[in-house]
Amino acid sequence: MIKPAIPSDEPFRLGTLRSLDLLDTPPEERFDRLTRMAKRMFGVSIALVSLVDENRQWFKSAQGLADKETPRDISFCGHAILGDGLLLVPDAKSDERFFDNPLVINPPYVRFYAGWPLRALNGSKLGTLCLLDPQPRAFADEDIQLMGDLVAIVEQEISTYQLATLDELTRLHNRRGFLALAQHALHLAVRKALPSSLVFFDLDKFKAINDNFGHAEGDKALVVFADQMRRSFRDADILSRLGGDEFVVLLFDCPHGLAQSIVDRLLAALERRNQFSSSGYAIACSYGIVPIALDAQKPIEALLSEADALMYQHKRGRKQQ
């Protein structure tokens, strides 16, 4: 048996999964309806919506299987989330990854497996829609297309959870989503001894933009700033609009010096934008960076307060220049 590898974006992926509050929730008809449909359409004995947690795969919906979870290191779905499309195993006993897997040699005696990664709105692979059967079987092109259609529906249902954690205007995480993601990422950082940094931003003279150009233009400025954050920060960084003109970023595996260089990159990009903009106003910001110690036990709210205080120091200093 070959254990599944860990995805390169694992902290971000797990943070996204935890922020949705899907794990360990009761069965829901909207997911059960889809697994019943999949089981019937493909004639398999088991159909699952499986979410791959840190050390387990947990089933949000299960047809034909009484278990609610299994260890991640024996899961087929742990392999499936490493790819971008369908993982097809026509006969597990003929596959070196699975031939001696406990799920193959013991109940439910899996021989056939088809699993398709389920993506969140931010691209994170949360788990799979998967089919299992004790008999080897083939999978036609029409079956692949049909399963892709079902996956799209499951992802649409999952998106309703994630939308509750996103800021409607900027599509960054809102405060609720950020707190859930960041706290989990901090636990991982401490456990793995990886330095991290928290950056708090506040737009300068934002009220003047609203007063002089209107709230629609103020909203546009917020979107421009959010888009520039996406371009400047790394894929694994957790970006959020906390509310109003306040933004925050948690930089995972990022010491203070590197965090400062990334912030400088953002500031330079904003300056270039301002030079060529015809909007009539500049988009600028004040910020505070808090390095997070490897033995940090502070809750994320306390770290936000520290970064907020540093941001105001920076803002006051710039006003006095």
CA angle at 134 for the pair 39 and 36, rounded to the nearest 5°: 10
The torsion defined by the Cα of 156, 182, 286 and 241, in degrees rounded to 10, comes to: 20
End-to-end CA distance of the chain: 65
pTM (predicted TM-score): 0.66
The torsion defined by the Cα of 223, 226, 228 and 234, in degrees rounded to 10, comes to: -150
- Rounded Cα distance, 61 and 68, in Å: 9
Which residue in this structure is represented by tokens 């692949």?
A: 144
Q: Please report, as a single letter, which amino acid is at residue 31.
A: F
- pLDDT computed for residue 194 by the predictor: 80
* 310 or 181, which is more confident: 310
Cβ atoms of 237 and 317 closer than 8 Å: no
* 125 or 15, which is more confident: 125
- Rounded Cα distance, 122 and 167, in Å: 13
Domains and CATH numbers, the chain: 10-163 (3.30.450.40), 175-319 (3.30.70.270)
- pLDDT computed for residue 164 by the predictor: 80
Quick check: helix, strand or coil at residue 245? coil
State yes or no: is 211 an active-site residue.
Answer: no
Average pLDDT over residues 256-273: 95
| Catalytic residue selected from 133, 202, 237, 245 | 245
How far, rounded to the nearest angstrom, does the alpha carbon of residue 148 sit from its chain's CA centroid? 21
pLDDT tens track for 56-86? 999 999 999 999 999 999 999 999 999 999 9
- pLDDT computed for residue 185 by the predictor: 76
User: Hey, how many other C-beta atoms are within 10 angstroms of the C-beta on 240?
Assistant: 27
